[in-house]
Amino acid sequence: MNKLKIIIVLYLLFAINADAQTLKQKLTTNWVFQEQDDAKWYPAKVPGEVHVDLLNNKLIPDPFYRDNEKKVQWVEKENWDYKTNFDISAQTLASNHIDLVFDGLDTYADVYLNGKLILKADNMFRQWTVDVKRLVKPKGNQLLVRFYSAQNKVDAIAKADLPFFIPDNPRAYVRKAQFHFGWDWGPKLTGVGIWKEVRLESYNTKPAEKPFVVPINVELVQQPDKDGKSFYFKIDGKPVYMKGANYIPSDAFVTRMTKNDYRKMLMMAKDANMNMLRVWGGGIYEADEFYDLCDSLGIHVWQDFMFAGTMVPGDKAFFANVKEEVKYQVKRLRHHKSIVLWCGNNEIDEAFNRWGWQNQYRIKPKDSVKLWDDYTRLFRDSIPKWVKEVDNSRPYISTSPKYGWGVKNSFTEGDSHYWGVWWGNEDFEVFENKTGRFVSEYGMLAMPNYSSVLAYTQPQDRYLFSKVLNDHQKAGNGFAKLNVYLQNYMIDSARINKLSVEDYTYLTQCVQYYGFKNMILIHRNKAPYNMGTLLWQLNDCWPVASWSITDYYDRAPKAAWYAVKEAYRDDIKLERDMIKPKDLKLVNPKITYQVKGNQIILKSSSLAKYVFVDIAGYKGKLSDNYFDLEAWKEKVITFDQKELNGKSVMVKLKSLWDVVKN
């Protein structure tokens, strides 16, 4: 009898498990796309996006080359269709439930299955699920996704909303990656696409949701003290000084990122001794691989929600849309031990109160009140409530920074974005008196690596401040500001315009090296008053003059990456530079070198500043670069021979003396 009971129980358990089993069928093949109603279809990649499909079919030029970005702006004004045909198995067809699941549609899309409209999507950051049991058949199912121009949509919504006005950009109305509409380091490439996986999920009984197990004990300590109010993280009960950077999408076309691309990018953070990345709110909630790698590498993640630099609509539909987005993304990501903070938005609070929008856009007082009320309802009331419903284990802050960089309180409480350096033309040393409790943004701009300049220019473009160089310099008055720092720290102002593009590139990277090294050391020397320094920014999404410390192509280090790597070390304490490079008494260092295996051994007859070692065709990073070489003291650097693909080692050297004294 007991044996019979056991058999019955085992049978029932097996039946229940079989009943709850979910079959999955990816729908990632046989896709084609067209400009809507054009009647000519081309092969498409899913997951993917329209600009990449157009590139793969040779229908547009590379937007990253020369001024081609401007030549592809027509793409954002068009509507695009994607379709595929698929069959399903008898086992799938026999299931009680068959769901069509889109993990990501960018952004406004109507979905048709076998000619019937089944979904109207309007949020890039949501998962969309439709029960299609009654619509599917064994053979010849057709799935059609009709995308509508996000730019046209937001322009129409903004126009219909007049005379009410949301300042800065109509992008505020759409739940889409904000950087797609252009940024001061990124191109304007506002596309569409099935940007994440699409599949069928079939089952008889809906599987139970896995219970949430808190993966990490994290506390954000904000307590009054003699100086104001603290701002630091306790991880598993221990205070941790955060050393890191801000992370933007690593490609303007996010679907091109592979797991290996993510690994290479995140290893650049790990190898630079970083322990935190801030996923910035104008990009995307990153791919699972990103967070998996952060988990394994011990990199903490400050996770913004995807709002940046603009106010928000206050209607019920927008709030309901964001609610579904927040709950989906938090549930998707909450099991990652790397995530230590949810943050409502990037710089919106500061923008509304400090950027002069009310006067610039002549916003009426009653509209100003409404904008602020909608803002506080979303970021201070609604989002924290929605987050707590699915993850009550991590801290939440409504905005970053708490106060703008012109406000005194920004140095005594909350996190700080201090942009007196760069935007205010202030010297790096200003941080001696203006370091906040946790500096979550600050930076210094530089040109990309010269190899990148060669890649996106033609010879006729390679003179200072050419049209093409300006097309790859998105920062407002970027070259003028950059020249201020060159003349303050590197070279006499009269000589700047006489530099070659190659030497100009080198000098801008040297000043970025000097700036980040010394700003980081000032911050760290103020611990425990200051408990975090996150530089802007780790990475680029295309080849451009920016604040990034790595290059877009090959994720290669810029000069500043080496400075950051040293400044973030815990085993030694670096000394700050007390003499500006332009004030050094340099003479010709007469550098010599020899190559032995994977080593380059260098020696000089006098101090050589910022020695740049360039190996032709090398795709990796050196053990050190842009270093100081003391007189007659041997310096050994290593390289990875595999990155040369069998090519011989051809070394080119440059030091500060070569540029400023020659």
Distance of alpha carbon 250 from alpha carbon 335, whole angstroms:
23
Helical pair 501-525 and 559-567, crossing angle rounded to 10 deg: 10
Question: Is 106:153 a contact under the CB 8 Å cutoff?
Answer: no
**For position 575, what pLDDT does the model report?**
94
Residues β-bridged to residue 128: 102
Average pLDDT over residues 106-112: 98
Strands 339-343 and 300-304: parallel
**For position 7, what pLDDT does the model report?**
46
Lowest mean pLDDT among 22-26, 255-259, 349-353, 424-428: 349-353
* 422, pLDDT greater than 80: yes
**For position 507, what pLDDT does the model report?**
98
Question: Is 577:514 a contact under the CB 8 Å cutoff?
Answer: yes
Q: Which of 191, 192, 196 is nearest to 47 (CA)?
A: 196
Residue 518: in which H helix or E strand, if any? helix 501-525
Residues present in the chain in total: 662
**For position 619, what pLDDT does the model report?**
86
Q: For residue range 53-102, list pLDDT tens digits in order.
A: 999 999 999 999 999 999 999 999 999 999 999 999 999 999 999 999 99
CB-based burial label for 584 (10 Å; 0-12, 13-18, 19+): middle
Average pLDDT over residues 406-435: 96
Strands 238-240 and 242-247: unpaired
Which of these is catalytic: 441, 566, 575, 634?
Answer: 441
* 10, pLDDT greater than 50: no
Domain ranges of the chain: 23-203, 218-568, 586-660
347 a catalytic residue = yes
| Main-chain dihedrals φ then ψ at residue 252, nearest 5 degrees | -60, -30
Cis peptide bond upstream of 537, omega within 30: yes
Sign of the alpha-carbon dihedral angle for 399, 405, 409, 411: positive
DSSP 3-state of 151: helix
* 554, pLDDT greater than 90: yes
- The pLDDT confidence band at residue 356, using thresholds 50, 70 and 90, is confident
> What pTM does this model have?
0.95
Neighbours of 573 (CB within 10 A): 9
For domain 586-660, give the CATH superfamily. Answer: Immunoglobulins (2.60.40.10)
**For position 661, what pLDDT does the model report?**
80
Q: Which of 429, 432, 430, 433 is nearest to 577 (CA)?
A: 429
**For position 277, what pLDDT does the model report?**
98
**For position 643, what pLDDT does the model report?**
86
Average pLDDT over residues 301-321: 97
Average pLDDT over residues 400-409: 92
What secondary structure does DSSP assign to 262-305, as a single string?
HHHHHHHHHHTT--EEEE-TTS-PPPHHHHHHHHHHT-EEEEE-
- The pLDDT confidence band at residue 151, using thresholds 50, 70 and 90, is very high
Q: For residue range 457-473, list pLDDT tens digits in order.
A: 999 999 999 999 999 99
**For position 621, what pLDDT does the model report?**
94
Q: How far apart are the first and last CA of the chain?
A: 98
* 9, pLDDT greater than 70: no
Average pLDDT over residues 309-334: 97
Question: What ranges in 309-463 are assigned the alpha helix state H?
Answer: 316-333, 348-354, 357-360, 365-376, 383-390, 450-456
DSSP 3-state of 70: helix
Locus of tokens 């939440």: 396
Q: For residue range 257-282, list pLDDT tens digits in order.
A: 999 999 999 999 999 999 999 999 99
Fold entry, domain 23-203: Jelly Rolls (2.60.120)
Question: Is 57:164 a contact under the CB 8 Å cutoff?
Answer: no
Question: What ranges in 377-477 are assigned the alpha helix state H?
Answer: 383-390, 450-456, 467-471
* 236, pLDDT greater than 60: yes
Distance of alpha carbon 279 from alpha carbon 290, whole angstroms:
10
Residue 651: in which H helix or E strand, if any? strand 651-654
Question: Is 84:31 a contact under the CB 8 Å cutoff?
Answer: yes
Distance of alpha carbon 360 from alpha carbon 415, whole angstroms:
27
Average pLDDT, the chain: 95
Question: 138-141: which pairs have CB atoms within 8 A and are 24 or more residues apart?
Answer: 138/87, 138/88, 138/90, 138/93, 139/87, 140/85, 140/87, 141/85, 141/86, 141/87, 141/88, 141/113, 141/114
Q: In what order do the strands lie in the sheet with 232-235?
A: 218-221, 232-235, 238-240
Q: For residue range 283-299, list pLDDT tens digits in order.
A: 999 999 999 999 999 99
* 583, pLDDT greater than 70: yes
**For position 183, what pLDDT does the model report?**
97
Question: Is 514:489 a contact under the CB 8 Å cutoff?
Answer: yes
Q: Which residues contact 616 (CB under 8 A, 6 or more apart)?
A: 647, 650, 652
Which of these is catalytic: 286, 347, 350, 413?
Answer: 347
CATH code, 218-568: 3.20.20.80
**For position 637, what pLDDT does the model report?**
96
350 a catalytic residue = no
